[in-house]
């Protein structure tokens, strides 16, 4: 019975180590896994099949066009151009992606979250008012950002940017996920499909049901495409 104690301790330590290790992505066992929509490839990694390494080309790791401004001719006055695994196949399994954000004067990237990623935003041109809100208690952190400034939005927290300058603005965002996901707050609450029950939202926002119904009938814009 006494001899079994070290064995049990070893098992307990192994179980703890496995639990800790399983909380993070495993280390890569290959140089890359270029995504391909072909089930015959046989290796399915993180939602994508891996292209045969012998068929991989340099263009699998290349995406042009991030120098081209996105159209801000919409009610929000902003546009997000993403470079993620769906349009840069070589990003698959590398846990990174990025986006260009264009802002017209007074343009806003509305409050939203990225459920699978932290975001680092750098201002390339212009002046932005940016911030994020913590989980309960909901503390607001804001900062005015000028050209060259950087801010971090912690994973899954609601954040936003507003162009407060006198010219158009441009920013680059970097994510520690190949597919960070996005939940735009207003769209999710008032534009879900199907719609959230009016009684739920009326009580949650302490508003008259008619106001909620009006908000649900609006066409909610989403710059985070």
Domains of the chain: 1-181 (2.60.120.10), 182-225 (no CATH)
Residue-averaged pLDDT of the chain = 87
**Whole-number pLDDT of residue 86:** 87
CA distance 163 to 126: 8
10 Å Cβ neighbour count for 111?
16
pTM: 0.83
Give yes or no for residue 48 having a pLDDT over 90: no
Angle at the Cα of 147 from the Cα atoms of 143 and 153, rounded to 5 degrees = 40
8 Å CB contact between 150 and 161: no
Under the banding of pLDDT at 50, 70 and 90, the label for residue 22 is very low
**If pLDDT is split at 50, 70 and 90, which confidence band does 24 have?**
very low
Please list, in sequence order, all residues whose beta carbon lies within 8 angstroms of the beta carbon of residue 74, skipping any fewer than 6 positions away: 221, 223
């Amino acid at each position: 019975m006494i001899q079994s104690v070290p064995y049990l301790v070893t098992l307990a330590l192994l179980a703890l180590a496995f639990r800790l290790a399983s909380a993070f992505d495993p280390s890569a066992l290959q140089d890359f896994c270029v995504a391909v929509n072909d089930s015959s490839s046989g290796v399915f990694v993180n939602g994508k099949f891996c292209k045969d390494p012998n068929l991989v080309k340099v263009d699998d790791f290349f995406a042009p066009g991030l120098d081209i401004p996105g159209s801000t001719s919409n009610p929000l006055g902003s546009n997000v151009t993403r470079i993620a695994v769906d349009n840069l196949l070589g990003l698959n399994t590398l846990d990174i992606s990025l986006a260009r954000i264009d802002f017209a004067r007074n343009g806003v990237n509305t409050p939203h979250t990225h459920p699978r990623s932290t975001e680092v935003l750098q201002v390339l041109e212009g002046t932005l008012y940016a911030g994020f809100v913590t989980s309960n208690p909901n503390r607001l952190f804001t900062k005015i950002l000028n050209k060259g400034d950087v801010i971090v939005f912690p994973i899954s927290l609601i954040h936003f940017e507003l162009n407060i300058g006198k010219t158009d603005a441009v920013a680059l965002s970097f994510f520690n996920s190949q597919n960070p996901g996005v939940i735009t707050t207003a769209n999710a609450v008032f534009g879900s499909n199907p719609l959230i029950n009016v009684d739920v939202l009326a009580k949650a926002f302490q508003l008259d049901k008619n106001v909620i119904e009006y908000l649900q009938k609006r066409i909610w814009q989403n710059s985070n495409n």
